[in-house]
Amino acid sequence: MAGVDVAGWRIAWSVFRLSHQRRGKCEQHAQHHVFVEHLCPPRGDSRRMRPGAGREVPLAGSRQLRRRVGGCRRLTRSLRHSHTQVTLTHSVFMRPKILNCSQNTNPAWRWLEGKVAADFEYVDMQPRNWLEARLRKPYLARYRAAAEAARKSRSADLLVTHSPAMTTWTEAFRRAPGVPHLAFSFNFTKLPTGAMLKLMRSVLPRVDRFVVFSTMERRLYAETFGIDPNRIDVVYWGVRPPEVGDNPPIVEGDYLCAVGGEGRDYRLLVDALRRLPHIPAVVVARPHNLAGLDVPGNVTVRTNIPRSEVHGIISRSRFMVLPLLHTKVPCGHVTIVSAMYLSKAIITSASDGITDYVFEGKTGLMVPPGDVTALAERIRELWEDPARSERLGAAGQAFAHRHCSEAATIDYVNRYLGSISPNYDNLVEGERGVA
């Protein structure tokens, strides 16, 4: 190993043993370059260095030392043991460890791994046994994942949870604050009531930081759960441009599309399209969204299809319609950003939850929720003005590339890691230099 001799290995092993003996007294964000005052000589060497003759472990060996030290992430300013004294005087920048806990049941999902300067460990809701696979009320897989994340977070530098339920149960199992807890994708389609609301009001104020996707959600969740609004960050929904499948078109020629299942008012859309029999439409929704509706002949329905096919339907459409239930629905961000990336104009119900994305007459058009006449009229106007549809789509695409990229999400996570780890920015610069 270049830069690390036998003596270096013995230093690292001493640090490892000492850190575990003093774990409870360790500082959480100490700097990590070691300076050895009294160095044990290599094995088989009877010589001793005179007191005060120090040796600095070279930077070239910091990665190898980290492998030897393993889980040693919190060191005191001065650790003493026998003839060895380790004092932190410089900066060996060790990658922070992020414990990522989500409701995702796909074990291959890796969030931002490889895109931020951190090591990741994952906890998910993939059923571990036949009981978790069969029992959903109570949801054993969720409770097991939350308890596992709470336990494993003790050895991490940052806990990240996705979805309000996972955030709540993980924090409840933690019982007392530990490492910083970042609640990402904190979004409700329907606010809780009763015992669940009481539990959330009890544990959510302990969470360090929340990430929501609209300004309205910051106000709503702060009031509902008693959270300090200054701890709720508004971040645009950030993803890579959608991948479009090469599946054959579902409808020949032009059509409009409507996609998604949360907070949607498809009864409104169906009634509007019944008044416009000459305009074809493709609706991609969940089966329950259209239950009991009399779908007219100009509407083609698809349910439970792969995401690449959904993106293909959006990309071949002339524009997209997003009918929402009321003015306080914080839903539709995923669909809106996908349509924007694919340069599609958007007609949507006027909801406070999407005003950070859709701007009337600039990136889309709005209608009052529940107003079937206004919706039918806006659809007819935009259908008869393809040039305007293209202008709105181009403006939306520029907005998505500017604000809703995956790079914007990565920048946010990097800034947050920098706020809780004094040396993180130097670590990032160092890894960029190596690359």
Q: What is the dihedral of CA 207, 211, 213, 218, to 10 degrees?
A: 40
For the chain, what is the mean pLDDT?
Answer: 81
pLDDT at 434: 62
Of the candidates 13, 240, 226, the one whose C-alpha atom is nearest the C-alpha of residue 111 is 240
What is the token pair recorded at 208?
């360090």
**First-to-final CA distance of the chain:** 20
In the chain, the number of structural domains is 3
Q: Which of 26-40, 197-211, 229-243, 271-285 has the lowest average pLDDT?
A: 26-40
Which of the four pLDDT bands, split at 50, 70 and 90, describes residue 37? very low
pTM above 0.85, yes or no: no
Cα 369 to Cα 265: distance, rounded to the nearest angstrom:
9
- Mean per-residue pLDDT, 308-314: 92
Regarding whether 107 and 57 lie in a shared domain, the answer is no
- pLDDT tens-digit series, residues 154-199: 999 999 999 999 999 999 999 777 899 999 999 998 899 999 999 9
Give me the percent of the chain exceeding a pLDDT of 70: 78
Residues 396 and 261 in one domain: yes
More confident residue, 422 or 92: 422
Residue 96: pLDDT above 70?
Answer: yes
CATH of the domain at 397: 3.40.50.2000
Look at residue 243 and tell me if it is in a domain. no
The residue ranking higher by pLDDT, 13 or 131, is: 131
Query: Which pLDDT does position 3 carry in this prediction?
Result: 41
List the one residue out of 267, 272, 300 whose CA is nearest residue 383: 272
292 and 184 share one domain: no
pLDDT at 153 over 50: yes
pLDDT-derived band at 61 (thresholds 50, 70, 90) equals very low
Q: For a pLDDT cut of 90, what percent of the chain falls above it?
A: 60
In whole angstroms, give the CA distance from residue 342 to residue 311: 8
Position 68 pLDDT exceeds 70: no
Residue 83 above 70 pLDDT? Answer: no
Spatial neighbors of 198 by CB under 8 A, at least 6 apart, are: none
The pLDDT, as a whole number, for residue 67 is 41
Question: Do strands 84-90 and 33-36 pair parallel, antiparallel, or not at all (unpaired)?
Answer: antiparallel
Looking only at the bridges linking them, the beta strands covering 119-123 and 158-162 are unpaired
pLDDT of residue 91: 41
pLDDT at 7: 45
Residues 298 and 273 in one domain: yes
Task: Please indicate, yes or no, whether residues 108 and 220 belong to a single structural domain of this protein.
Answer: yes
Is the pLDDT reported for residue 20 higher than 60?
no
| Listed residues 49, 75, 90: the one ending a domain | 90
Distance, CA of 12 to CA of 84 (rounded, Å):
11
Q: Which residue has the higher pLDDT, 65 or 415?
A: 415
351 and 389 share a domain? yes
Q: Are residues 262 and 399 in the same domain?
A: yes
Task: Indicate whether 301 and 397 sit together in one domain.
Answer: yes
Residue 113 lies in a domain: yes
For residue 225, give the nearest of 207, 242, 246 by alpha carbon. Answer: 207
Q: Which residues pair with 364 in a beta bridge?
A: 360
Do 305 and 355 sit in the same domain of this protein? yes
Q: What is the mean pLDDT of residues 318-322?
A: 97
For the cut 70, the answer to whether the pLDDT of residue 55 exceeds it is: no
CA dihedral 303, 309, 315, 317 (to 10 degrees): -40
- Rounded Cα distance between 289 and 303, Å, is 10
Domain boundary among 63, 90, 117: 90
pLDDT at 426: 80
CB 326 within 8 A of CB 302: no
176 plus 191 within the same structural domain: yes
| Residue numbers of the domain that contains 66 | 6-90
Q: Encode pLDDT of 102-141 as tens digits.
A: 988 777 888 999 999 999 999 998 888 888 888 877 888 9
